[in-house]
């Protein structure tokens, strides 16, 4: 019998890559997405069941589907969005996640996989940051991911379903559609002589190539059999923003770009000056990233300059 999986947010950057990997594994895949930031061109529409639906609406009105598993990725993925709109993370992230939990219970879906984020730690005081580290929250986005995790864990402890929660660093690679590399490439295409860099350029972050990330999400969620588990998904490497800009410029064959720093340790209110997650727990499941951050940045720039990406701009 073919297993069926639902991917919420499946038309987005990470979701579409998860969809493709599930199809390769023989799943029948249903995508729930309202296309607010996602794009149908990301998806093999002839191979999936696509439902255009805003998941803020009552879960009782979501299509009834008997799936074994739900990958819940639909969200406002813009960490900065909450600065100007204090409701967006509550509605798009927490409310939608609560709906996804109730929908799973109603439809007897036994496995719930959630895309959380390194932002749940805010500005922690341990690096690399392990899963047990206490949070020092600095953004409404991070707060919404933390509270979503708590709802999922409570439903899991009621034994409604088993859950796997992944705290991602920034994903990059094929299909990438938002974030620092996107911003840099866009600015440089507009004016190759100069580049505005938010903050002092010394912020240190970890990045994960989408090919490594997808393997981690699918393999670990299939392997672990705990009631509810949280895994950091990041890279053992880090890179500062200035070095990242150097690689982007090099890959675009630009060697005389003048950098303008907006200044300060953070790129924006709520930005974390250092993101580096401890991934030992995920490593115990045989997973570790294989693609270096530099190679992945270069792949991402090539993708953004390619015809594939131009279709989405
Ligand atoms: N990209 C990253 O580096 C990163 C890092 C940490 C966590 N995450 C999380 O991973 C998930 C996927 O991120 P992404 O980068 O692919 O973002 P994305 O914006 O490309 O994808 C999000 C998808 O969800 C859909 N969506 C949003 N609100 C919806 C709603 N109310 N109803 C139905 N569909 C809705 C969008 O149309 C889009 O297709 C998100 O939950 C995000 O918070 C991403």
Q: Are 94 and 120 in contact (CB under 8 A)?
A: no
| CB distance 21 to ligand 1 below 6 Å | no
Q: What is the pLDDT of residue 119?
A: 97
Atom of ligand 1 nearest to the CA of 56: 31
Ligand 1: distance of its center to the CA of 76 in Å?
6
Give residue 10 CA to ligand 1 midpoint distance, Å. Answer: 8
Ligand 1 and 11: CB distance under 6 A:
yes
Answer whether the bond into residue 86 is a cis peptide, omega within 30°: no
- Domains of the chain, with CATH numbers? 4-171+208-233 (3.40.50.720), 178-206+237-275+291-310 (3.90.25.10)
Pocket of ligand 1 contains residue 91 by CB under 6 Å: no
Determine whether the shortest distance from the Cβ of 14 to ligand 1 is under 6 A.
yes
Pocket test for ligand 1, best of 75, 113, 164 (most atoms within 8 A of CB): 75
Ligand 1, atom 9: closest residue by C-alpha: 115
Helices and strands, number each (H, E), in the chain: 11, 13
Verify whether ligand 1 is closer than 6 Å to residue 210 (CB atom).
Answer: no
Q: Indicate the average pLDDT of the chain.
A: 96
Q: Would you give per-residue pLDDT tens digits along the chain (313 residues)? A: 679 999 999 999 999 999 999 999 999 999 999 999 999 999 999 999 999 999 999 999 999 998 999 999 999 999 999 999 999 999 999 999 999 999 999 999 999 999 999 999 999 999 999 999 999 999 999 999 999 999 999 999 999 999 999 999 999 999 999 999 999 999 999 999 999 999 999 999 999 999 999 999 999 999 988 999 999 999 999 999 999 999 999 999 999 999 999 999 999 998 999 999 999 999 999 999 999 999 999 999 999 999 877 665 5
Atom of ligand 1 nearest to the CA of 170: 3
How far is the CA of 260 from the CAs of 134, 183, 242, 243, 250, in angstroms?
35, 14, 11, 14, 17
User: What's the DSSP call for residue 308?
Assistant: H
**pLDDT at res. 2:** 73
pLDDT for residue 309: 77
- Kindly state if the Cβ of 218 falls inside 6 Å of ligand 1: no
- 232-262 pLDDT, tens per residue? 999 999 999 999 999 999 999 999 999 999 9
The CA angle 206-279-10, to the nearest 5 degrees, is 70
Phi-psi region of 35 (alpha: psi -120 to 50; beta: other; left: phi over 0): left
| 148 alpha carbon – ligand 1 mean position (Å) | 14
- Ligand 1 centre and the CA of 75: distance in Å? 4
- Ligand 1 centroid–CA 9 distance in Å is 6
pTM of the model: 0.97
36 pocket-lining for ligand 1 (C-beta < 6 Å): yes
- Whether residue 56 has its Cβ less than 6 Å from ligand 1: yes
pLDDT at 307: 80
pLDDT digits 0-9 by tens, 170-222: 999 999 999 999 999 999 999 999 999 999 999 999 999 999 999 999 999 99
- Say what the pLDDT of residue 1 is: 63
Query: In this structure, which residue's CA is closest to atom 20 in ligand 1?
Result: 12
> What per-residue confidence (pLDDT) applies to 165?
98
């Amino acid at each position: 019998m073919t297993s069926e999986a639902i991917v919420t947010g499946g038309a987005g950057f990470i979701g579409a890559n998860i969809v493709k990997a599930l199809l390769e594994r023989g799943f029948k895949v249903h995508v729930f997405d309202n296309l607010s930031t996602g794009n149908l061109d990301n998806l093999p529409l002839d191979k999936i069941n696509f439902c255009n639906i805003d998941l803020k609406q009552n879960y009782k009105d979501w299509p009834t589907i008997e799936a074994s598993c739900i990958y819940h990725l639909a969200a406002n993925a813009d960490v900065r969005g909450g600065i100007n709109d204090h409701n967006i993370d509550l509605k798009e992230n927490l409310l939608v996640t609560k709906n996804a939990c109730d929908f799973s219970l109603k439809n007897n879906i036994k496995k719930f996989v959630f895309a959380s984020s390194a932002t749940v730690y805010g500005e922690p005081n341990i690096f690399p940051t392990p899963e047990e580290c206490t949070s020092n929250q600095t953004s409404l986005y991070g707060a919404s991911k933390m509270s979503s995790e708590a709802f999922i864990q409570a439903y899991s402890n009621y034994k409604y379903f088993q859950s796997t929660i992944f705290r991602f660093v920034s994903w990059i690679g094929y299909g990438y559609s938002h974030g620092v590399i996107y911003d840099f490439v866009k600015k440089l295409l507009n004016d190759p002589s100069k580049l505005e860099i938010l903050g002092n350029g010394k912020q240190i972050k970890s990045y994960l190539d989408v090919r490594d990330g997808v393997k981690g999400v699918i393999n670990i969620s299939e392997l672990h059999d705990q009631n509810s588990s949280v895994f950091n998904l990041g890279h053992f490497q880090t890179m500062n923003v200035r070095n990242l800009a150097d690689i982007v410029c090099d890959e675009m064959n630009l060697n005389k770009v003048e950098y303008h720093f907006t200044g300060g340790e953070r790129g924006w209110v709520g930005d974390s000056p250092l993101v580096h997650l401890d991934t030992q727990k995920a490593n115990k499941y045989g997973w570790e990233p294989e693609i270096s951050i530099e190679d992945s940045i270069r792949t991402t720039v090539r993708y953004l300059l390619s015809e594939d990406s131009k279709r989405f701009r």
